[in-house]
Structure 1
Amino acid sequence: MNTHPPFDVELAAFLPEGEPDRPFLDGVEGVERLRAAMAEYEESVDDVRAATGARIDERTVDGVPVIVILPAGDRRARGAILNVHGGGLVAGSHRSVLTVNTRIALDLDCAMVVPDYRLAPEHPYPAGLDDVHTVWRWLAGGGLWAEVDPDRLVVMGGSAGGLLSAGLMVRLLARRETLPSALALVQPQLDDRNAQPSTYEIEHAHFWDRPSNLLSWSMYLAGVDGVPDEASPARVGDLRGFPPTFIEIGQVDVFRDEELDFAARLSRAGVPVEAHLWAGAFHGFDGLTETRTAQRAVAARLDFLRGYLSDR
């Protein structure tokens, strides 16, 4: 078994004591546990609207539920972020961490659109990607042009949302459709093959581990005969044409090596890339907002986004 790098001491203090007795995600029962755990982070639109003063609406875009966050008052937003939530392709919703998303939109003076895409195993590939694509077409086609500068549209996704965001770029390039100004991938899940060295470093953990990743991919790709590039973006041979890309990487993460490889291949393809490798950070570390590492990581991410949403 490979040995992973040491944890950041401040981050490690938030991990449960003792060895994990099972994979983070284990079978259908594990999916239900993860969904229940992530549901605890869902928030009421009315409550967040009242607490922040932002304009927050729930809409349906061609059958896909979305939450749209806009700056307070009648001010036109500088741009918009299509923000694709994580959850291992099997959990999470557009109401997850709604306060966090709202405060990001207010901080950046932009709109944010969060789709509630369909989840595996009930809805395997391409359902989730199709839903994200539907919402992107609406946004890029003028869905918020009365509210948003149409030349400043960014796609962002974390973990499984990063997979769907990168997969969206592959699809848009293949179909010659409108691309965003920039792409932000936050600890993205990119490669179904699970062959990189880092995937063997974390066999069982209190966070996303190898067995969980194998199960997630098997549920997402159920029934697929031959994995399309858009379903697993690390398989793409030629990454030319991707928009400027930000990649956030945890050093103690099963995804580390596929993310580093993806950043390197984007660079070789001539794509502007900003990649941050955070020492000792495990998957999902950015949610531990009390820690210095999480604060630095989020600040770097927001600085990248601000560059593509503000006057440059």
Structure 2
Amino acid sequence: MSTDQSPAGQAPPVPFDPELGAALTIIEQQMSGTLTSVDVIPELRQSMDMMPAPTAEQLSRDGAFEVEDRVVPGPAGAPDITLLVCRPAGATTPLPALYHIHGGGMVFGNRMVGVDVLLDWALELNLAVVSVEYRLAPEHPHPAPAEDCYAGLAWTAEHAGEPGIDPDRILVAGGSAGGGLAAAVVLMARDRGGPALIGQLLLCPMLDDRNDTPSSLQMAGLGIWDHAANEVGWTALLGEARGGPDVSPYAAPARATDLSGLPPAFIDVGSAETFRDEDVAYATRIWQAGGQAELHVWPGGFHGFDMMVPHAAISRDAAAARLRWLRRLLAP
């Protein structure tokens, strides 16, 4: 990572929360590599594969959840996709469901990423969790990831009775790239007359391929996912179209010209990260279109701070705010 000195005329970086900043120093020392170009993605994936994902047995939490993979049809003409389904054991009635899309900059990750946190919410609120395995860029550029996520959502709603889900109480959630894809499938569902979702939980979502907001430039070289890494992720997804005039809102939801008619949104982001300004703008535009959005900007938070430093005071505050929103959303 680079130093925190700013080019002439550019605002200095936002300082990290002291507790998070101390942890970030250690995290950076342990990182196995840097996303400097599309070419290094396979190597970085291999280093991440050395960190095993939780098994179905571990996710069951000693029998608290019934855990299974379901292979369901993918988009037209594309391969089938796998959905990880976790349902509280012994549930006898259809349950609300959280449809989860994992993060990883559009180029990393799998359906297991981030599920542990969701199961905490599922225990608290008696939810089912469905996590989708989508194809990754650059091998599978847009529209493959978004279409995979939408196909999994459509199947979940249409076949809700099979995993014991209430089709009228499905919300979409995701963090980082998963947050951007979650926002995209919400737009797709609206535009295609698809599932009637009750909410969208967007955690530090990756929304804007143009990568030119003040926060993207202000925090360049700092934190976990900076301006350079963001450019690589979007280039992997969009190729030469990145930043140009013809990018679909289903690839980069910040490109949407109409944010009306969307389900209530929860959006949060750190003040000291690349995505701060695009996320604040997205919430603002939802309000301007007459919609509901709850926005939190966590002071001194870097990208993914709550997952990487979950016991920090600000991380606990962020987790509590999300749970409160979910509880209100799901109240009878």
Aligned match of 2:76: none
Deviation at 1:267, TM superposition (A): 0.4
Task: Tell me how far 1:111 sits from its aligned partner.
Answer: 0.5
**Maintained 8 Å contact 2:103/2:113:** no
Q: 1:298 to 1:168 in 2, by over 3 A?
A: same
Deviations 1:132-164 (A, max 9, x none): 100111122233466122221100111000111
Identify if the C-alpha distance between structure 1 residues 190 and 41 changes in structure 2 by more than 3 Å, giving closer, same or farther.
farther
The AA in structure 2 aligned to 1:190 is L
The verdict on how the C-alpha distance between 1:36 and 1:77 changes in structure 2, with shifts beyond 3 A counting, is: farther
Indicate the residue corresponding to 2:322 in structure 1: 301
Deviation at 1:235, TM superposition (A): 1.1
**Percent identity between the aligned chains?**
35
The answer on whether the counterparts of 1:38 and 1:96 sit within 8 Å (CA) in structure 2 is no
Conservation of the 8 A alpha-carbon contact between 2:220 and 2:226: yes
Report the 3-state secondary structure (helix = DSSP H, G, I; strand = E; otherwise coil) of the residue aligned with 1:280: coil
Q: Is the 8 A contact 1:125 1:221 kept in 2?
A: yes
Matched, 1:284 2:304: yes
Contact 2:101 2:179 in 1 (8 A): yes
Does the C-alpha gap of structure 1 residues 34 and 146 become closer, same or farther in structure 2, counting only changes over 3 Å?
A: closer
Question: 1:306 corresponds to which letter in structure 2?
Answer: R
- Deviating more after overlay: 208-217 vs 143-152: 143-152
User: Which of 230, 234, 241 is equivalent to 1:213?
Assistant: 230
Distance across 1 between alignment mates of 2:191 and 2:135:
23
1:58 to 64, 69, 86: 69
The correspondence for 1:16, drawn from 25, 31, 36, is: 25
Pair 1:253–1:133, CA change in 2 (3 A): same
Query: Any residues of structure 2 matched to 1:246-261 within 5 Å, and which?
Result: 246-261=266-281
13 and 241 in structure 1: CA distance in 2 versus 1, 3 angstrom threshold: same
Q: CA deviation at 1:72?
A: 1.6
Gaps of 5+ in 1: none
Distance in 2 (CA, whole Å) between partners of 1:103 and 1:22 is: 29
Query: What is the TM-score with the length of structure 2 in the denominator?
Result: 0.87
CA deviation after TM superposition for structure 1 residue 184, in Å? 0.7
- 4+ long deviations beyond 4 Å: 17-23
| In structure 2, distance between residues paired with 1:115 and 1:17 | 31
The change in CA–CA distance for 1:146 and 1:231 in structure 2 (over 3 A counts) is closer
The one-character-per-residue Cα deviations of 1:241-279 (angstroms, maximum 9, x if unpaired) are 111110011101111000011111100101111001100
Deviates more, 1:93-102 or 1:22-31: 22-31
Give SS of 1:221's match: helix
Show the counterpart of 1:107: 124
**Letter matched to residue 26 of structure 1:** T
Question: What is the CA RMSD across the aligned residues, in angstroms?
Answer: 2.3
- Cα distance 1:75–1:212, how it changes in 2: closer, same or farther (>3 A)? same
Look up the equivalent residue of 2:329 and give its one-letter code: Y
Q: Deviations over 1:24-71 (max 9, x none)?
A: 412222453256337626111123225352111111121111100101
CA distance in 1, matches of 2:33, 2:291: 36
Q: Which runs of 5+ in 2 are unaligned?
A: 1-6, 74-79
Comparing both chains, which one has the higher relative contact order based on Cα–Cα distances under 8 Å and sequence gaps of 6 or more? 1
Cα 1:223–1:137 shift into 2, 3 Å? farther
Corresponding position of 2:175: 158
Structure 1 residues 35 and 212: alpha-carbon distance in aligned structure 2, compared to 1, 3 A threshold: farther
- CA–CA separation in structure 1 for the residues paired with 2:25 and 2:290: 42
> Do the aligned partners of residues 277 and 23 (structure 1) sit closer, same or farther apart at CA in structure 2, a change above 3 Å counting?
farther
Counterpart contact for 1:247–1:259, Cα < 8 Å = yes
Q: Tell me the alpha carbon deviations over residues 96-117 of structure 1, each in whole angstroms, 9 at most, x when there is no partner.
A: 2443332222222010100010
Residue 310 of structure 1 is matched in structure 2 by 331
Q: 1:162 to 1:260 in 2, by over 3 A?
A: same
Q: 2:36 aligns with which of 21, 26, 49?
A: 26
Tell me if structure 1 keeps the 8 A contact 2:67–2:84.
Answer: yes
CA drift at 1:22: 11
1:80 alignment partner, one of 89, 92, 97: 97
Matched, 1:3 2:23: no
Question: What is the aligned partner in structure 2 of residue 137 from structure 1?
Answer: 154
Matched-pair contact (CA < 8 Å) for 2:33–2:44: no
Identify the residue that residue 47 of structure 2 maps to in structure 1.
36
Q: Do the aligned partners of residues 22 and 107 (structure 1) sit closer, same or farther apart at CA in structure 2, a change above 3 Å counting? A: closer
Alignment of 1:140-289 (within 5 A): 140-144=157-161, 147-222=164-239, 224=241, 226-287=246-307, 288-289=309-310
For the residues of structure 2 that align with 1:228 and 1:97, how far apart are their CA atoms? 27
Moved more, 159-168 or 39-48: 39-48
2:60 aligns to what SS in structure 1?
A: helix
The normalised TM-score by structure 1 is: 0.92
Aligned length: 311
